[in-house]
A and B are shown apart, each in its own frame.
Chain A
Amino acid sequence: MQKQEPLLSVRELSVAFKMRDCVLTAVDGVSFDLDRSQRLGLVGESGAGKSVTGFALLNLVSRPGYISGGHVFFEGRDLATVSEEEMRNIRGNRISMIFQDPMMTLNPVLTIGQQMIETLKAHRHISQHEAEKLALSKLQKVAIPSPEKRLTQYPHEFSGGMRQRIVIAIALLTSPSLIIADEPTTALDVTIQADIMELLLNLCEEEEMALLLITHDLAVVSQVAERIAVMYAGRIAELGSTEAIVNAPQHPYTQGLLKALPQKVERRKRLNQIPGSMPSLQERPPGCAFYDRCELRGEICHREIPRLEEKNGGLVACHMVKTVAGKEKK
């Protein structure tokens, strides 16, 4: 069977920020594919470049930042080069975005109904009545009780979890083929977080939407995504199936992250910590960015940036990971 073209194909995407006396590269040659109705998790610490990558996909990087290289192919077009008018037609229509803080997305002075209808009318020729009907059905989909009444209410009349459900309902309005969710549950409590993640997962399956889930929480991402890309200092360190990343991580950074979890050692015993911290944008080393913190580092790591290569069935950017015979199977 011929392999279908991926829905989203990111190739060597780079984002830089122009400062007064230097140019800082926040995202440095990131490449990944996302198939239709597939779910990919983008994991990393703050400053790893995961959110900037998400923004760059929608051409939303604002000055002094700019896309300094690479391509973003989506449904046959390169989003890094399309006109702003064409981009507006894709953004919020074919690709929807969900942010961490629902109050950042919702307008506090408009009712939920007004905001939903506004979104629809921006992308479709649709009558007021039709728009209302569609808004209502989407609110039902995200399990908002008494949606007719809720349409006339303002964002402040909802709890944090309910607001995030509304943001998801708005994202669903135009039946997009891709949703980018940037830390959608970080501002919420654990019990609500589980509800929202489950909702997002079910909706993606029902509506056959692809999901790019950006988060710092490996456990959350492993519950939802089929594949995980681990980012470190602006580059992808490792990309593989969720099972492989969680159970048999190859990159020393991914291994370190998982080993440092409290579940991995006996209670009240010292945790396996990774020494040091991620280098800031100004102090990225010439070779591998993880060099200073890595136990396996060799001489080549200091000189040469490792490329993301296929090793043992997954993609890893590490000079020290060797291919083991018999593990080549996909």
Chain B
Amino acid sequence: MSNFIEIKNLVKRFDISGGLLEEIRFKGGIHREKTVVHALNGVSFGIKQGETVSVVGESGCGKSTLARCVIRIYRPEGGEVLYKGTRVDNLSSSAIKPWRAKMQMVFQDPYASLNPRMTVYQTLLEPIRFHFPNVSRSEADDRVATVMKQVGVDPDWRKRYPHEFSGGQRQRISIARALAVKPEFIIADEPIAALDVSIQAQILNLFMDLQEEQGLTYLFISHDLSVVEHISNRVVVMYLGSLCEFAGTEQLYTDPKHPYTRALLSAIPQFGNEGFRHMRLPGDVPTPINLPTGCVFHGRCPHADERCRQEVPALIPAADGRVVACHGVEEGRLEWL
């Protein structure tokens, strides 16, 4: 089966040098130098129709940038995004419009992503009017009522404003807004991170129910490793803008290959007082402004050798279907672990 979404070698950089004066350097004469954040450095993976692929990694690893590049909020500097085989990353703002109705996004903070001066009705009507201007008023009203019911918010509350709802209900409303235009693909960027523990399960159940009813495809961004384990079919692990490992959820959680994946999974807080058994990584995550040479993880990896310091590891598919970017795994050096 070919991939529903195909992400090929995606590169995104942000120029943060500001004005001309900040670019001037005086090393050996005067010249200009830009300060560039390397947010994504050649990320590739595919998503099949109807599945949930999650992206995990620590803050600053580029997972939100990835989500925004896929839906073309950001225009990537390199690489391709294919939607059912059609390239969508290089489309103009007007040409992307029909694709936007198929791809919708749910954001982290339901306090920031809903306009406080719009009622629920106005919030849900806007995307329908924008993408389907020919839809009649009564059809649009029906659609608003339908999506409100789907997410478990009483349609009688459509005249209310966001501040009249709790955090969990607001997140339901932003999910309803995404559903209003009948999308096939939903990108959810940390959709439960701002919610309380007892509400998180409700929203996760809603995501799973909607997927089952409507055959939705999800790209799920999260830093919560137990949640990701529960809801995903496959998982992408990222570190400093690079993909470390991409594997089926069970494969990844029972038998992680990449040293960073191992460290990350070992740090999940476990219930009980059996003490800490996490792998201790030396040092800190380097800055994405001056990327390390070779493997981005080599400075903190206990198994790094000369090749890791020099050569960027390629994404190498293994026999069991997973993809790992690690020289040690490729050479079989880490097999004994």
Contacting residues of chain A (44-70) with chain B, CB-CB under 8 angstroms: 45-46
Q: How far is the CA of A46 from the CA of B284 in the complex (A)?
A: 30
Q: How far is the CA of A242 from the CA of B272 in the complex (A)?
A: 8
Contacting residues of chain B (218-266) with chain A, CB-CB under 8 angstroms: 223, 225-227, 229-231, 233, 249-250, 263-264
Decide: B168 and A277 in contact? CB cutoff 8 A.
Answer: yes
Given A268-B230, A273-B201; A242-B273 close (CB under 8 Å): yes
CB of B267 within 8 Å of the partner chain: yes
Contacting residues of chain A (169-194) with chain B, CB-CB under 8 angstroms: 189-191, 193-194
CB distance from B289 to the nearest CB of A (A): 14
Q: Which one of B199, B223, B227 lies within 8 Å of A262 (CB-CB)?
A: B227
Binds B, one of A16-24, A89-97, A212-220: A212-220
* B196, B204, B225, B271 interface centre (most CB from chain A within 10 Å): B271
Given A191-B58, A277-B168; A267-B230 close (CB under 8 Å): yes
Q: How far is the CA of A318 from the CA of B226 in the complex (A)?
A: 30
Q: How far is the CA of A218 from the CA of B200 in the complex (A)?
A: 14
CB of B281 within 8 Å of the partner chain: yes
Contacting residues of chain A (245-265) with chain B, CB-CB under 8 angstroms: 246, 256-257, 260-263, 265
Interface range for A: 35 or more
CB of B209 within 8 Å of the partner chain: yes
Given A159-B284, A268-B231; A256-B198 close (CB under 8 Å): yes
Closest to A279 in B: B166
Q: How far is the CA of A197 from the CA of B168 in the complex (A)?
A: 29
Given A218-B271, A223-B270, A273-B205; A257-B59 close (CB under 8 Å): no
CB distance from B18 to the nearest CB of A (A): 18
B interface residues, how many (CB within 8 angstroms)? 43
Decide: A268 and B208 in contact? CB cutoff 8 A.
Answer: yes
CB of B26 within 8 Å of the partner chain: no
CB of B316 within 8 Å of the partner chain: no
Decide: A219 and B225 in contact? CB cutoff 8 A.
Answer: no
Decide: B271 and A219 in contact? CB cutoff 8 A.
Answer: yes
Decide: B276 and A198 in contact? CB cutoff 8 A.
Answer: yes
Q: How far is the CA of A267 from the CA of B231 in the complex (A)?
A: 7
CB distance from A166 to the nearest CB of B (A): 14
Decide: B209 and A270 in contact? CB cutoff 8 A.
Answer: yes
Q: How far is the CA of A218 from the CA of B267 in the complex (A)?
A: 15
Decide: B198 and A260 in contact? CB cutoff 8 A.
Answer: yes
Decide: B284 and A162 in contact? CB cutoff 8 A.
Answer: yes
CB distance from A269 to the nearest CB of B (A): 8
Contacting residues of chain B (40-87) with chain A, CB-CB under 8 angstroms: 58-59
Q: Which 5 pairs show the lowest CB-CB distances between chains A and B?
A: A262-B230, A219-B269, A189-B58, A45-B196, A260-B201
Excluding A190-B264, A277-B167, 12 further A-B contacts by CB distance (< 8 Å) are A45-B196, A189-B58, A190-B58, A190-B223, A190-B225, A190-B268, A194-B267, A194-B276, A218-B271, A256-B198, A270-B205, A270-B208
